Structure 1
């Protein structure tokens, strides 16, 4: 192997950022609500990442927040993070930040920053306790992609105000190592009776938020598929979460419900079944 090819292979192996996604520092501008999208992966890499970045950029244009996207962990310094009101861990996996970068991110959260996690953001940084508490839960596994029924518990929060209380959609439904309900404000759950492969029972949160360590955190388990990033209701869900985390729109996330709110499914709602060949 020639030296250039060897260097390129090593960069891919050890996760060096591609020049196209290298971080370019943003200048602080008064009154600007900028969002940093971080998509580094050191584990599984979702093919939907380009679709997701493009969709979030469009949401930024439509909702008034400039968006920068990078896979470069050098973005995580005190100076580089200062211009941003929210950082979005978008389909990240594995160990994506070093110790100094983690420390800078913790300081940024404690100073009032907002974190948004999408899908495999909970399959990220298993050995970083602060991140685990911020995210609310860690990924355990998932069944195949299939339709299911989502139930919205909080219709007032910006992340769920634009979606129906009973929301059928197709995605890869994550199971988590522990139920986060005791620690976070649950926004939505998925009904395990409407799909196969759920392992959390009658209470299966898939979107939540919390005020944490001086900052804010919003997580949604959706977003695995490319189709998700062209789905108007899912995009409204993500946009609302970003707007809340960035402090653009207010929403209450302080109440922790210790039990699942009682609900009655619509009589006409059918069980959603994935055809099997």
Structure 2
């Protein structure tokens, strides 16, 4: 009798396990996201914090996420597999001619959405690579000028509280330990600004300022949904509910077509 009881239990456990696996397999992914990230340098701690956060979000929200750490494999065939492309702290240089053209087509044709963080606006001639003029225009016609190397805390003010990516985000929130890039001009005339940093709140104070200093914006002149979020250097950002809400909303918004 005891042996029969054991066998019945084993069969039941096996059945439940198989049923669970089948349910997980049959659960349809809402969309596929591609993440381009930096696997070295001083942005590595941010990447290290971002990946488990993104992985958990993907599991909890039923979407698929794949990672690449350079642009060598980016082409039209790769990008057409994904509904959203996240440029996670990766600069707009070192891209091949093929990868640049594929990304431009992806954005121009509205093939998928895009979220760029922090390093994505490091526009200029760096490490022997020329300026990617299309990307500069995409970001509002800007070029990187300077940054606060010693870091500063500051208050971010939301300008478009009605936008879907701002749902649940407070009208203003503080960001700790950020570099705060400055550009040769404000992109405001060429993009839709959704948030800016209050330079008067820099702590410690800094003379490296822009005046009008947007930090979150979208370029409505492209067929693809897109949003640039400047903040993305320190791993502590993932301790901020305002920031994680903003990033989560951005992913779901960008994954939808216009």
Equivalent of 2:183, from 152, 163, 176? 176
Residue in 2 aligned with 1:261?
A: none
Contact kept in structure 1, 2:88 and 2:117, CA below 8 Å: yes
Structure 1, 237-246 or 43-52: larger mean CA deviation = 43-52
Q: Is the CA contact 1:134–1:217 (under 8 Å) kept in the aligned structure 2?
A: no
* Deviation for aligned residue 1:94: 5.6
How is 1:152-191 mapped onto 2 (pairs within 5 angstroms)?
152-172=158-178, 173-191=180-198
**What's the CA shift for 1:62?**
3.3
Q: Select between 112-121 and 163-172 the one with higher mean Cα deviation.
A: 163-172
Matched ranges for 1:105-254 at <5 A: 105-112=103-110, 113-123=112-122, 127-136=131-140, 137-143=142-148, 144-172=150-178, 173-195=180-202, 196-197=205-206, 198-201=208-211, 203-247=212-256
Q: Which residue of 2 aligns with 1:76?
A: 74
Alignment of 1:49-64 (within 5 A): 49-64=47-62
Task: Return the alpha-carbon distance in structure 2 between the equivalents of residues 94 and 214 of structure 1.
Answer: 20
Q: How many correspondences in the alignment?
A: 220
Whether contact under 8 Å (1:55, 1:230) holds in the other structure is no
Q: TM-score, normalised by structure 2?
A: 0.76
Give the direction of change, closer, same or farther, for the CA distance of 1:179–1:210 in structure 2 (3 Å limit): same
SS where residue 121 of structure 2 aligns?
Answer: helix
Q: What displacement does 1:125 show? A: 6.8
Within 2, Cα distance between the matches of 1:189 and 1:233?
15
Structure 2: where are the runs of 5+ without partners?
Answer: 1-27, 126-130
Partner-residue secondary structure (3-state), 1:88: strand
Separation in 1, partners of 2:72, 2:233: 26
Q: RMSD over aligned Cα, in angstroms?
A: 2.5
Structure 1 position 215, deviation (Å): 1.4
Structure 1 unpaired stretches of 5+: 1-29, 251-277
SS at match of 1:47: helix
Instruction: Determine if contact 1:92/1:124 at 8 Å carries over to the other structure.
Output: no
CA distance in 1, matches of 2:155, 2:88: 23
- CA separation of 1:134 and 1:53: change in aligned 2, threshold 3 A: farther
TM-score between the two structures when normalised by the length of structure 1: 0.71
